[in-house]
Chains A and B, each alone.
Chain A
């Protein structure tokens, strides 16, 4: 089987070392990924499309390397969540609405990856327009969790988490509006970073909730995430909310350990937590203590209101953003006798149930008579959430806790109950409301399923979170575990 299956190296860092040493070529690595995709993806469905030009791009990367050109990701294949525009490749957002949409430009993060020499492997599956926590809302069918294919990989960046966990790509880009990088990273046993709002350009990221959306890296290790973030981050003239702050050398910042670092556990995060998940999280926190971190429990009372506030704000922004899908300029059109009929029938046929639900919630929350009661109220509660984080970060350097209340659930288990699905993001959502950063790293297993540990930091403290994650990974084996890929090639749905 392929190089990646042998686990001789499947991280970005190991691949870069081997490429630099000349012991392997980008073409060989890319071929190995394509072989893994051929062997596994009919079962896992992590990809919606594979880049037909991937090997050519790899060949170009090899030529650039031979020519002595620099490039911090030169020759590294990377998968892209199918909500980020890649010029010339279909960008569906997991929706019938955009099934045939081919963007005329690259998202800024994609063009930055290309400039750094990355090879684009393909586009990964997601919940429609990133609305969901399981990929079951994809119009093209769910992805499966490589640790147990009867279970969901989480979402909405579930496809990206799957392809990294199953070694169908050494790294992937995801996006996170309420936990969509961190929750699937946790459920699939990989590392995922939601950067500070504005750290990474949103240009070319199809808008879901513009004040919350942020793209970030998903990989096996914090070190790999540091490499990707260094390429992705920074001011972009095409996104007026992108921050002008200098981009530190995130890889250099990994060194230094956690001695003397003050970590806080939000007591609100221990409510409703599955006991096996709690055991893993507590044991991970103990490890951090042994490494010299000082841990204390503290309270952020407004966290309890974060989930309902989010489910007002995100659908409100979504209902406005998704108004553009009306069958006029791009995407699906269903003809009607007049323009309004065309709009209504196009949107009826093009959107799936969860998108319709959120468009309706958002429209209601923004409609005359309800705007103050729901939308403004939620934005005020959002201020309370921010203040709680500000207060916490005056006392501690970062927060630590679970990423999700339970491990991966079964496909179909929550699809009839939207509220219970929403609750799977209960520990991740507040981070987006406050615009701060969050990192998830694998911290153990419960019943053979991965458990994730979440770190939350103040604005622009990605370097600190990555250092904590890296230190943890230097002393624990969980990020090195891989699912039984050989068994997956023989797996059949019952």
Chain B
């Protein structure tokens, strides 16, 4: 599939990323070039091929349900831009 235009504003919104007009222009062009390069992948027939998402077998591992050491509350909040009453503070949501 050849991509001749890309709704970069939409992609940036999905990524929760503000872009300046300059960035939109430059990156729009660069992304199209990069997507064009991805066309190389079409030269490889993968109809009967399984995807590899992980190279090692990954299983969920459950630990025993016993209390262990964890990060103290204060340390967990130490890097927070804003905190209040032991919580992360953010602008109002509703």
Which residues does A use to contact B, with CB under 8 Å? 100-102, 104-105, 197-198, 211, 237, 240-241, 243, 302, 304-305, 308-309, 311-312, 319, 323, 326-333, 335-345, 347-348, 351, 353, 356-357, 359-361, 363-364, 367, 373-374, 376-384, 386, 418-419, 433-435
Give the nearest-CB partner of B33 in chain A.
Answer: A419
Q: Which residues of A contact B35 (CB under 8 A)?
A: 361, 364
Q: Which residues of B contact A105 (CB under 8 A)?
A: 71
Known contacts A338-B93, A360-B8, A383-B51; is A104 also within 8 Å of B78 by CB?
yes
Give the nearest-CB partner of A435 in chain B.
Answer: B55
Q: Which residues of A contact B20 (CB under 8 A)?
A: 348
Known contacts A305-B40, A308-B41, A330-B79; is A435 also within 8 Å of B56 by CB?
yes
- A211, A308, A338, A342: the one contacting B55 at CB < 8 Å is A211
A348 near B19: Cβ-Cβ < 8 Å: yes
B4 to chain A, nearest CB (A): 14
B54 near A360: Cβ-Cβ < 8 Å: no
A339 near B58: Cβ-Cβ < 8 Å: no
Known contacts A326-B16, A328-B90; is A102 also within 8 Å of B44 by CB?
no
- Bound together, the chains give a CA A241 to CA B44 distance in angstroms of 29
- B6, B17, B30, B93: the one contacting A348 at CB < 8 Å is B17
Give the nearest-CB partner of B30 in chain A.
Answer: A418
Q: Which residues of A contact B11 (CB under 8 A)?
A: 360, 363-364, 367
A to B CB contacts below 8 Å, 6 in the list:
A304-B40, A357-B27, A364-B6, A378-B41, A383-B46, A386-B52
- Bound together, the chains give a CA A305 to CA B19 distance in angstroms of 31
- Bound together, the chains give a CA A53 to CA B6 distance in angstroms of 51
Extra pairs beyond A328-B80, A329-B88 (18, CB < 8 Å): A197-B55, A211-B53, A240-B58, A240-B61, A302-B44, A305-B41, A308-B41, A329-B80, A330-B80, A348-B17, A356-B17, A356-B27, A357-B30, A363-B14, A380-B46, A380-B51, A381-B46, A383-B46
Question: Interface majority SS on A: helix, strand, loop or mixed?
Answer: helix
B62 to chain A, nearest CB (A): 10
Known contacts A364-B11, A381-B41; is A102 also within 8 Å of B79 by CB?
yes
A377 near B18: Cβ-Cβ < 8 Å: no
A327 near B81: Cβ-Cβ < 8 Å: yes
B79 near A344: Cβ-Cβ < 8 Å: no
B51 near A243: Cβ-Cβ < 8 Å: no
- Bound together, the chains give a CA A364 to CA B18 distance in angstroms of 15
Known contacts A211-B55, A241-B54, A364-B11; is A384 also within 8 Å of B46 by CB?
yes
- B12, B14, B44: the one contacting A305 at CB < 8 Å is B44
CB 8 Å contact bits of B19-40 with A (1 = contact, 0 = none): 1100100010011011101101
A379 near B52: Cβ-Cβ < 8 Å: yes
- B16, B27, B38, B56: the one contacting A197 at CB < 8 Å is B56
Q: Which residues of A contact B66 (CB under 8 A)?
A: none
B15 near A384: Cβ-Cβ < 8 Å: no
- Bound together, the chains give a CA A378 to CA B63 distance in angstroms of 34
- Bound together, the chains give a CA A197 to CA B16 distance in angstroms of 31
Q: Which residues of A contact B31 (CB under 8 A)?
A: 357, 360-361, 364
Q: Which residues of A contact B92 (CB under 8 A)?
A: 338
B25 to chain A, nearest CB (A): 13
B93 near A339: Cβ-Cβ < 8 Å: yes
A359 near B51: Cβ-Cβ < 8 Å: no
Q: Which residues of A contact B91 (CB under 8 A)?
A: 335-339, 341-342
Give the nearest-CB partner of A378 in chain B.
Answer: B41
CB 8 Å contact bits of B62-91 with A (1 = contact, 0 = none): 010000000100011011111000001011
Give the nearest-CB partner of A434 in chain B.
Answer: B55
- Bound together, the chains give a CA A335 to CA B34 distance in angstroms of 33
Q: Which residues of B contact A198 (CB under 8 A)?
A: 55-56
A340 near B52: Cβ-Cβ < 8 Å: no
Q: Which residues of A contact B60 (CB under 8 A)?
A: 240
- Bound together, the chains give a CA A351 to CA B91 distance in angstroms of 21
A174 to chain B, nearest CB (A): 20
Q: Which residues of A contact B14 (CB under 8 A)?
A: 363, 367
B54 near A329: Cβ-Cβ < 8 Å: no
Give the nearest-CB partner of A302 in chain B.
Answer: B44
Question: Closest 3 A-B residue pairs measured CB to CB?
Answer: A435-B55, A330-B79, A333-B81
B51 near A379: Cβ-Cβ < 8 Å: yes
Q: Which residues of B contact A240 (CB under 8 A)?
A: 58-61
A208 to chain B, nearest CB (A): 16
Known contacts A356-B19, A357-B31, A364-B31; is A308 also within 8 Å of B38 by CB?
yes
A329 near B18: Cβ-Cβ < 8 Å: no
